[in-house]
Structure formats: structure tokens, C-alpha cells
Structure 1
């Protein structure tokens, strides 16, 4: 009996924590990956577990416990297996909500019921493991089995499952593991009723893998890295133009991280890339040394390399670099894998241009690259005539992040300019430029110099800005 209980406690606890670690991969493409995202995820899991423990305690005292447990396992397998289907069905509707509300309802829809079910199972297993004996050693062993499952569920999911396979396949693996635990727990395999339950379980386990196949059918490439769900798509039409377009996204097809027309690879397709290049070419035309945080598909990196400039690029995700080489023809050797802030800190020479073009998932700049401490570092690494160029996404009016980003940059750089492709209010790419000396912003053609309201300063250890990564 104890071996069966220990094994099931281990597996069920493994799955609970494994599911929690997959949450941002389903949430981030639609609502971003911020500290608030994790706060919502953890809170909902804790609430679900608390309710589940209470329900499990009630079930554990019932006489028909074996039959109920069988159904809990089957229903648990089904609720896990349906996660990718639920995500693809309801998230398009949730995306009209704010990031916080969308994250909350999204996590509840995907995880609340399975977490509640498996937390209930944990409580029942604990009661069964105690049998008629109650002593400290036995209680400690049961909790240790559960704790070890939680630890390994966290580590294996984070460092093995997610980096090596599609997120839907990870869900399929979890369904299969619970199915194995169910078989080990279920001693009455010969009854027709038990046979039907097993068949239902097997069918449920296949759902995530079927979902994976259907989602991948129209993609050129997909991979899961330590940091992103990386997708490469192809289309013959973009923004009113025909061509052989290929683009990179981090799980949200509407937020493009980089695009190339394969017929003319050197052409800068996206507005933000043309803006960065134009500003750099205007305000630092004679530049020799360029530092870029965020490699993407390598379009800007290649442009600077062709100009025979000394380019240093920091890219945190090795998977992004590999995709840029394999699918976007990047051939250079200017990229170093690692955190951009740390790599910049180690540079001994000053730069003419520093470009910040880094994003976590969809449209959020990593928090450590938005603080006053970070911009002070860029100031120290720039030459007197150098410029800092930031690719940001936001609204000209009522956008607390853009206002705070501008104010924070201005707290370090005496001269700050914001350029936009359109003067109208609405979410768009905004290029923020910081300089130690005044610049003639009228030299930038095809863009508008715009103003935004002042906001709160962003610091490493203290910020009032909501919705930062």
C-alpha cells in the first residue's frame, strides 16, 4: 500500500507544480510575462489548492472513496488534456480585456479545476497512507514524497520539458504521467467499468498531441527555448505589399518581433527597424562602435555589419540566434548570448550608439532594461556625441509605462526625443532617443516628434509602475 501511495503522491505533486510552470507559456503571448503575471498565477494556484485540500478532506472520510478516486483521476486527466483546446478557444475573447483581467480569467479557465482536483487527490492519498497508524515518521515520509514530486516537477518542467518540446506536448506528457499513476492506483482493472475508464483516459491523453499537430500545420518553424515560444511564419502579403515575407513571433502572431522579405533580404520591412536605422544614420552617421540589446532576426545587426562598424550584440536567447541563422540568413559573429545589461557593464570601451530593442514575449521590455540604474549605465558607456535609441511600444496618451520610460530616461539624459510614425493616439512603435548634447530633431524625415506626459521614475528596487516585466 505505501509504495502505491508514495508513488502517486510523488506524481500528482509533480504534475501540480509542472502545470504551474507551464502557465506563463500559455499566458504570456496574450497578456505578457510580468511580476504581476506570476503573482496572479501563484495566487490562483494557492486558492485552488486550498479549496482542493478541503474537498479532499471531506472525500477522504467517505466510504466509497475508491470509486470517487477513480473518477477524480479520470476527470483530472481530461481537464489537463483540454488545456490547449481551452486556450485556443477562449483566449481570443479574453484578449479584449486588460492584461491583469485577461491573465486572471485565463489562469482560472486553464488551471483552476485541474489544480483543485489534484489537490483533493493529494489529501485523500495522505489519509490512505496513514491507514490506521498515525506517527511522526509516517507523516514526514508522506510529505517528503509530495515535496520531492513538487521540486522535480518544477525543475524537470522548467529545464527539460519546456526547452525541448512544444508546450502542448508538455501537457500531453503530464496527462500520460497521471494516467500511469491512475493505473498504479487502480487495483480493480478487470471490471468492465474500470476498462471503460481506462479507455476514456487513453483517449484524453491524446488530445494535447492532436492539438499540437493542428497548430503547427501552417507554421514554417516552431521551437521552445528557455525564454520564449519561438514561431517563424511565411506570408506573401504584408501591409499592402506582395512579397515572400518571413517573420518571427514569440507566440502571438499579431506581435511581430522581426520580418524579412526573402526576395530582398537587405530591405528593412518593419517601421521600427527603419526608424532606428534612420535615427542612427542621422545623429551618429560617423559612428564606429555600436552596441545592440536584442538581436531578433538579425536585420539591424546585419545592416551595421555591412557598414563595417564594430558591432556588439547581446541576445539572451540562444534559440533566437539559431533561428536568425537558419531562417533569416544571418551570417555574422557579433552576437554574445547573455543578459544585455550584464554584457554592457563588462564593456571597457565607449560606444557611439546603444540600441535597446529587447522584448519578453509580446510587447514588454524586460524590467531591468527600463530602470534609472540601467540608463545610467548606458550613459557611462556612451561617447559624448553618442545616442541611446530605444524601440518601445505604447500610446501617446494615457500610457503610464511610456510616460515613465520617458521620464526615467530624462532623469539621466539631458536631452530626450520621441519619434512616432503617426501623430494620432493609439498603440504604435515609439522610438525614444537620449543624448548628452542637443540634437536637431527636424533632420528626421517621415516621422513626427511627439510629446508624452511625465510619469513615475523606474528604479531597480522600487517602482510604482504596474505591468512591468
Structure 2
């Protein structure tokens, strides 16, 4: 098609239908990750399951549509569009309820998300699959090859628009309900356009009904039973779903449905999640606590850890947080204030370290999650970069979510061995007495230190730290050759990290987060919180 033809080109009704079906199918596919991830995580099995279900549903739609295409009409495509829009309303309104119900099914963890994806997105994607063969049948192009090629091209262009528009425009700016409303109304408008100029009364009534259904579904929000408390802030960021929830005096930041930070509104100095106290272990291992002057946190969340360091010690703190909206929420709801002593950088942690030549005395790596570990922050190449950015006697502290032993400990063992290949000494500390998945703390020193548990206990008694680390020292785990065996664990590398496979045994396991208790609670109230993918203090 030359330039003049392109300017004068007017798409036919079937061509518009194919283009819109491409936008909607790919847009729903991108949106599916945001809808399903809070319940099942955004690991490789969830994303792969979504892709698989969409491809199967489209294939079935193509197959059935091709069998029925001989009698295809524009009006029939319009009814398919309306039926798809009805199901989009169901997705908007009932997604949380369907996710909660399907999550109780007795399935292996890696397949747990499939029933929800099939129920939510199988039917609308199947229906959209009819459009391409119908459009090819109705095409004005001469020859089967030309008609099918034209339809494939238009559908693919629509998919590109749907993918890019949803990813880069809609998700950063709108809620899931609002995006669903846009897709649904686009389908209704296309259905009406397919029947013009002779629109039947039945089509008008159906289109108005479906449009009202979409508006009501989006306006009322999804059906859900929220046991967490009062949601005081909720938004979709380019990276995740962000919620701030108040439960009594405790305010918690949730990212993709998982707890990441918490503060006690009545007692801000309390470490709500007990493991965040362990972040102060490097202050025992430094030759002197005054030797720690520059600290970097990779991962901000609610910024409770960085703020704690900035308030307790005479240090300057840099924080690398990739999600600017998380930082904005921390400023509004967690009291974050940037100062000369606490600076925030919106970047990926590894890219930031590559671009800076400033040496740090302590780097706290708090970007790992239960089922969403950024593999590029786990590898030996990354650990070498960290070591280069640390001072000669600098320290790395990594918060690793894993079992300390047995089933579910593969990632912890691999991470320990990877760090051990770079750093002279690596120390590990469990945060719960159970063998369940928990926050295991790894501390690596850039020079040889050779601390024993007794050495750390003696330092804890001798130093005047405001945070008592007796419990942390008691939870010290000996290295290889005793409790921790890493001989068979892989060294993680950029070209063959295999992190997803190492996380696989943890899927579906009980995850324990030990909590401290406030003055108004008894010691027995400070228990474990199961089944939470991650908690960042």
C-alpha cells in the first residue's frame, strides 16, 4: 500500500472488529497479571499460566470460529463483542471473589493460579477468537491467502496497541476497574458500529444494558471480604498494586497483596516485624559502630529500615527504590522525609551500583520476596559489584526469604554459597524457631572477621546499641560442615541463575513472620503470621 492509498484507506467493519479484538485480548492478558498476582504471586508459573490459558482459549476460538465462519455476519460479530463485554464486567466485579474461591482448591502450588485464570479470562478470550475467522470470511480481499494475511496483520497491530497502551499508559494511570471499564465500553461501541446504519431495537437495548452493567461493576468495585483492616490508600503503580491498610494502631504497606512494611502509629520506634531488628547486626560486626558512616538500602518499601538507621546512628543513608509511587506513599503515610542524611534514588539497585563510585560501609539488600526474587540481585556478578562498592571492611546484609533447612531451603543455600564465593566470611541467622519459610538474614564481610556466636554475644553486651540483638545472636546458624550444607547448592550466575526453580519448593509452604508486641499486648500475642509472601519492615 503506497502513501496515497494509506491516506485514503477506510477500514471495513470486519477490519475494525479484528483490530479491537486484538487490543482487548492483549490488554486483558497484560491486566490479568495485575489481577492474579496479589493472590498467587507474579512468579514464572503465574505468568506462564496466564500466557498458556490465553493461547489455548484463542486457539479454541479460532477453531470454532473457523467452523462457523461460512454463515458469519457483521451483526453476529457485534453480539460476540457484547457477550465479551458482559464477561469483562464479571471480571471487574467478581475477580477477588473468584480468586479467593479458587485459591482453596487442592492443587500443587505451581498450578494453583490456573483455575482462576481459566474462570476469569478463558471465556472472553475464547469469544474474541471467533472474530478473526469471521473477519477473514467477510473480507473484501481476493483470495484466501490475502484475506487471512490482512486479518492477521490487523489483529497483530491491535495486539501491539493493546499491549503497549495497557502497559505504558493505562496501568500507570488508572485502576483495574477503570481499565476494565474502558475495554468493555470499547467492545460495546464496536458492537454498535458493526450494526450501523440499521441498528435493531434489540441491539440498542442490549448495548445500553451491557454499558450500564460495566459502569455499575466498575463503580461498585470488586466483591471482596477484606480481613486486613481499613484501606486508607490504594493505587496501581507501573510495577505493582499498592495498598496502605490500618489495623488498629498498626499501619501496613501491601504490594501486590503482600505485606512489605509496617509501623506502630502509637509507638513508631517499635519494630513491628521482629526480623527488621536483625538489620542492625552489622553494627556488631563493624570494628566500631562509628566506623559505619555511609549506608545504602536496596529496596525502600515503607522506608522504616532506612529511617531507623538515620535516626539511631550518625550516618548518611542512600535508598534505592525503583517504584516512585511507593516512595510517595512512604512520604505520605510512613513519615518519610528526605534530608541531607537520607537521600532517595529512583532506580534499579544493580544499575545504581554500576553507576556510582561512592564507597559504602554497609549495604542492606532488602529487595527479595517469597516468590518474586529479582534474579539479577542474587548472582555472583552482582555480589562482586557489591563487594567493589563496599569499603575495605564494609558489610553486606541480605534479607532472604527461605526455609533455614529441609524442604524450601534451596534458595537460601544457593544464595549463601554464591555470597561465600565473593566474601571472606558469611554469617546466617534464622528469625523463627520453626523450620518454616521465614526471613533468613545473611551478613557478609568484605574482610576476614571469623566471628563466633560467643564473639557476637560479647559485643552485644559491650556495645551501647539502642537495639538489643540478643535474640538475633541466639538465632545464629553455623556455616557449612555443621547445620548448613551447601556443597550441592549452585552458584547463581547471570547466565544461569535458576532462581525460579530454587523458589519452587517454597510455593504453598507456610511462611512465618515473627512479630514483636506493643505494651498493650501480651507476649503470647507476638506470634507468627502464616501464608504471607513477604514482609519488609
Aligned to 2:276: 273
Please report how far the alpha carbon of residue 467 of structure 1 lies from its aligned counterpart in structure 2 after TM superposition: 4.8
1:461 is paired with a residue of what secondary structure? coil
Spell out the pairing of 1:292-307 with structure 2 (5 A cutoff). 292-306=297-311, 307=313
Q: Retained in 2: the 8 A contact 1:298–1:330?
A: yes
1:278-315: CA deviation from partner (whole Å, max 9, x where unpaired):
x1332232311111100111111112222231222111
Q: Retained in 2: the 8 A contact 1:35–1:468?
A: no
Aligned to 2:527: none
1:123 is paired with a residue of what secondary structure? helix
- In structure 2, the CA distance between the partners of 1:138 and 1:91, relative to structure 1 (3 Å rule), is closer
Q: Retained in 2: the 8 A contact 1:171–1:208?
A: no
Aligned to 1:174: 183
Please report how far the alpha carbon of residue 40 of structure 1 lies from its aligned counterpart in structure 2 after TM superposition: 2.7
2:297 is paired with a residue of what secondary structure? strand
Q: Retained in 2: the 8 A contact 1:84–1:211?
A: no
Aligned to 1:291: 296
Aligned to 1:321: 327
1:34-85: CA deviation from partner (whole Å, max 9, x where unpaired):
344333322222222222111111121136x456434322221122221244
Question: Is 1:227 the equivalent of 2:239?
Answer: yes
Question: Is 1:339 the equivalent of 2:348?
Answer: yes
CA–CA distance in structure 2, aligned partners of residues 157 and 468 of structure 1: 31
CA–CA distance in structure 2, aligned partners of residues 310 and 468 of structure 1: 35
Q: Retained in 2: the 8 A contact 1:364–1:468?
A: no
Please report how far the alpha carbon of residue 208 of structure 1 lies from its aligned counterpart in structure 2 after TM superposition: 3.9
- In structure 2, the CA distance between the partners of 1:452 and 1:40, relative to structure 1 (3 Å rule), is farther
Please report how far the alpha carbon of residue 106 of structure 1 lies from its aligned counterpart in structure 2 after TM superposition: 2.8
CA–CA distance in structure 1, aligned partners of residues 108 and 428 of structure 2: 26
CA–CA distance in structure 2, aligned partners of residues 467 and 221 of structure 1: 35
Please report how far the alpha carbon of residue 89 of structure 1 lies from its aligned counterpart in structure 2 after TM superposition: 1.8
Aligned to 1:114: 124
- In structure 2, the CA distance between the partners of 1:320 and 1:468, relative to structure 1 (3 Å rule), is farther
1:231-280: CA deviation from partner (whole Å, max 9, x where unpaired):
001111xxxxxxx221100131xx31001112233332222221213x13
Q: Retained in 2: the 8 A contact 1:56–1:123?
A: yes
Q: Retained in 2: the 8 A contact 1:312–1:336?
A: yes
Please report how far the alpha carbon of residue 157 of structure 1 lies from its aligned counterpart in structure 2 after TM superposition: 0.4
Once structures 1 and 2 are overlaid, which stretch shifts more, 23-32 or 225-234? 23-32
- In structure 2, the CA distance between the partners of 1:101 and 1:300, relative to structure 1 (3 Å rule), is same
Aligned to 1:13: 22
Q: Which residue among 37, 42, 45 is the counterpart of 1:33?
A: 42
Please report how far the alpha carbon of residue 346 of structure 1 lies from its aligned counterpart in structure 2 after TM superposition: 2.1
2:272 is paired with a residue of what secondary structure? coil
Gap runs ≥5 in structure 2: 1-9, 457-468, 478-482, 504-537
CA–CA distance in structure 1, aligned partners of residues 171 and 216 of structure 2: 18
- In structure 2, the CA distance between the partners of 1:98 and 1:317, relative to structure 1 (3 Å rule), is farther
Question: Is 1:311 the equivalent of 2:317?
Answer: yes
Q: Retained in 1: the 8 A contact 2:13–2:194?
A: yes
Once structures 1 and 2 are overlaid, which stretch shifts more, 224-233 or 324-333? 324-333
Q: Retained in 1: the 8 A contact 2:23–2:162?
A: yes
- In structure 2, the CA distance between the partners of 1:103 and 1:402, relative to structure 1 (3 Å rule), is farther
- In structure 2, the CA distance between the partners of 1:51 and 1:297, relative to structure 1 (3 Å rule), is same
Q: Which residue among 456, 470, 484 is the counterpart of 1:445?
A: 470
Question: Is 1:184 the equivalent of 2:193?
Answer: yes
CA–CA distance in structure 1, aligned partners of residues 57 and 484 of structure 2: 42
CA–CA distance in structure 1, aligned partners of residues 385 and 167 of structure 2: 31
CA–CA distance in structure 1, aligned partners of residues 50 and 266 of structure 2: 44
Once structures 1 and 2 are overlaid, which stretch shifts more, 283-292 or 450-459? 450-459
Structure index of larger Rg:
2
Please report how far the alpha carbon of residue 86 of structure 1 lies from its aligned counterpart in structure 2 after TM superposition: 4.3
Q: Which residue among 408, 413, 417 is the counterpart of 1:403?
A: 413
Please report how far the alpha carbon of residue 456 of structure 1 lies from its aligned counterpart in structure 2 after TM superposition: 2.3
Please report how far the alpha carbon of residue 95 of structure 1 lies from its aligned counterpart in structure 2 after TM superposition: 3.8
Spell out the pairing of 1:244-283 with structure 2 (5 A cutoff). 244-252=249-257, 255-277=258-280, 279-283=281-285
Q: Retained in 1: the 8 A contact 2:74–2:194?
A: no
Q: Retained in 1: the 8 A contact 2:41–2:256?
A: no
Spell out the pairing of 1:357-436 with structure 2 (5 A cutoff). 357-359=366-368, 363-396=371-404, 397-399=406-408, 400-435=410-445, 436=447
Gap runs ≥5 in structure 1: 237-243
Q: Retained in 2: the 8 A contact 1:230–1:249?
A: yes
Total equivalences in the alignment: 456
- In structure 2, the CA distance between the partners of 1:87 and 1:313, relative to structure 1 (3 Å rule), is same
Aligned to 2:466: none
